[in-house]
Each structure stands twice: as C-alpha cells, then as structure tokens.
Structure 1
Amino acid sequence: MTILEQENRLACECDAAWRALADFGNFLPWATGGAGTARLEGEGVGMIRHLDIPGLGLVSERLDLLDDASRTLGYSLVSDNMAGMARYSATVQVISDGVGQCCLRWRGDFEPLPGVDSEEVGNSLAGSYAMMSQGLQAFVNDQT
C-alpha cells in the first residue's frame, strides 16, 4: 500500500465544513458542483454511495467511519479499477484553524493496479483532494 497525506486550508467555518462533509450521501453538490448522479444503499456507517461522475465514471464507496467528536470521516472504494487503483481507503478530518478557517487533513491508502505507477496515482489523488477541498469551501460559503 502507498500512503498519501495532504492538508488543505479552507476559509470557512469548521462546524459548517464538517456538517457538509459528514453528510456522506450528499457528496456531489460540493465535490462536483452537482454534476453526476448518486444512488445510496443503506444508512450510516456501512452505507454505500454509488456515484456516476462525468469524466470519472461509476464509483462505489463505503462509509467506514463517522466520528463527530474528532470530525473524522473514513471511506473505502468498493468498486473496481477507479483511477488505476486496485484498493483505496481514506480518512479526512476537519480541524479548526482559527475563526472562520479550517484545515482538511486527508490520508489516503492505495494500491495501484499492476503496471500502474504509484506516483501517478498519488498525484491524481492529491489533485482530487485539492479540488474537493476547494469545492467544500465554496459550498459552505455559499450556504452561509
């Protein structure tokens, strides 16, 4: 497994960012601006979100951890072959970084498919984390 750790600073309220992030089934409005479709299976920890995202295709992810006290969410890939990965799991934590600011601390563990460069996959994930962080910030600020 390869580990990618990344922090992205956001200019938005920590509690509002956590509320949006913790709503696992409501991912598309902030992550893609609403592009794509989602189908949910189950509720709470263990639920699966089946996403069809333009440019990415079908992705299914399971909610593995939802901890309000530490503002940490964990999820894992349950569909095959997303972005060159055989396996993928991640946690993201929302950390207060002062009034009106917070930090998203991402930690992704992945195994690339045979023949796929792990650095290439890591760079793709880093870009995705940055884009999702920006999307979350914009979504939260638009809601307030």
Structure 2
Amino acid sequence: MHQITVHHDFDTSTDVLWDLLSDFAHIERWWPKDIPAVQIERVDLEGEGIGLIRHIYNKGFAAPVSERLDFQDPEALTYKLSIVGQRPAGLTAYQATGHIEALAGGRCRLNYKGEFSTESGQPGEAEAFLRMAYELMFTGLAAATAR
C-alpha cells in the first residue's frame, strides 16, 4: 500500500467545514466549478447514510469516479471514503480518511490521508492523479467556506 498525507488550513470554523464534508451526497456544494481540469457534469447517488455511493461523472471522462462513504463520526470530525467500481489512474484499491481539527482564531485544518494500491505496484500515475484531486478539493472547500 502507498500513502499520501496532506493537510490544508481554512479560515473558517470546524462546524462550517464539517457541514460541507459531512453532506457526502452533495459534493457539488463545494467542488470548484471554474477549474477546467476536472469539472463535475453530474452526480448519481446509490443508497444513503454510511455505504452511500456517489457516482461522480466528470466532463470529458467516460466512466464515473464512484466514492463510497465508509465511516463518519461527527463528534471526532472524521470520515472515511473508498473509491469503488472502475477506478481511475491505475488504482486497484483506495481509501481516504479526513479529519478536521480546530486551530486558534476560529480557523481549522483538514488532515487528509489516502492509502492506495496500483496495478503496476508503482505509485506514479495514481499519486499524481490523487494529489491533483486533493488540491482541487482544498481549492473548492476554501472557496465554499469564504462565501
């Protein structure tokens, strides 16, 4: 298994950030709309609550990225998701854990850890794809929390 650990600090409270991230079915609330690299065309939902799968169809991509909500703890401000079904960028397994922590001055930090394996056994393509997705996530969340 390969691992990527990143974090981003936000000029908002843990409550505001948790409200966006815990609403797993509505990624469009915060995913950036003005960055051409990966734009959401539509999201189809399967199930509800823990186990909910959001099938994210992105413009220019034939297959959706399907993310399943595996765990959510509002007290600990922690959640886990997996990419299931047809995985992008040579991924054969992927699970991410997000944890929000309070910072001084009403700010917060999103700590994010992705664990993954690949067809080739090498992290190259998958790691580049995931790091790009994490940057888009941080950009979108920063914009959404600034509104």
Letter in 2 for 1:102: C
Deviation of the 1:55 alpha carbon: 4.4
Q: Please, which moves more after superposition, 67-76 or 130-139?
A: 130-139
- The answer to whether the aligner puts 1:96 opposite 2:97 as a matched pair is no
In structure 2, list runs of 5 or more residues that go unmatched: 34-38
Shift of 1:121: 2.0
* Structure 1: tracts of 5 or more residues without a match: none
Paired residues of 1:81 and 1:113 also in contact (CA < 8 A): no
Moved over 6 A (4+): none
Aligned length: 141
Alignment of 1:64-143 (within 5 A): 64-114=70-120, 117-142=122-147
Per the alignment, in what secondary structure is the counterpart of residue 124 of structure 1? helix
1:49 matched to 2:54? yes
Per the normalisation by structure 1, the TM-score is: 0.88
- Structure 1 residue 26 corresponds to structure 2 residue 26: yes
> Alpha carbons of 1:141 and 1:49: their partners in 2 closer, same or farther (altered >3 Å)?
same
Deviations 1:74-123 (A, max 9, x none): 00011223122111110111111122321110110101122x74034223
RMSD, aligned α-carbons: 1.8
Per-residue CA shift, 1:24-61, capped at 9, x if unaligned? 00112312337320111111101111110124541111
Q: Are the counterparts in 2 of residues 6 and 107 from structure 1 also a CA contact under 8 Å?
A: yes
TM-score normalised by L of structure 2: 0.87
CA distance in 1, matches of 2:40, 2:67: 17
